[in-house]
Amino acid sequence: MLKKLLNKDTIKLDIVANDWKEAIFKGCEILLDKGYIEKKYIDSIIKNIEENGPYIVITKGVAFPHSKPEDGVNHLAMSLVTLKEPVYFGHEQNDPVRLVITLAAVDSNTHLSALSKFISLLRSSEDIEKIINSKTKEEVIKIIEKF
């Protein structure tokens, strides 16, 4: 399931982002351009972080932006963006971020298989580091295919 959602069309490498808001936008922009989400989904993610802190920085160097399906999700989707330079989200333990993996879920169930595989990937700091340092989308896909 993970490799169905993260593919050449939903992966971008070495993206420039000047701050955490831009990093989130860059990850969401892929999904917005494909019609998978609406602009209000991005706004909802940013608002949630402003109100609740950088809870989306879930492990060292990795942000996992997401919001509720009713906040503007049209289709189950994920995107993966590596950042050219690290970005600080304000998380004491897990900053700075170099990898942004965005989830757009249409309900509370359909994404669970992909989420399970994603959690397995997060447990492998070696594979996370390989993804961050990947030079091609094919390298990233090869790593994702293991999960």
Element housing 12 (H / E)? strand 11-15
What the block records as the tokens of 102 is: 């965005």
Of 66, 75, 91, 111, the active-site residue reads: 66
Tokens linked to 100 = 């942004």
91 annotated active-site: no
Phi-psi region for residue 124, left (φ > 0), alpha (ψ -120 to 50) or beta?
beta
Helix ranges, 53-136 (H): 112-122, 125-132
Q: Based on the number of CB atoms within 10 Å of its own CB, is 129 exposed (0-12), middle (13-18) or buried (19 or more)? A: middle
Query: For residues 6-27, b (16+ Cβ closer than 10 Å) or e, as one string?
Result: beeebbbbebebeebbebbbbb
Residues annotated catalytic, as ranges: 66
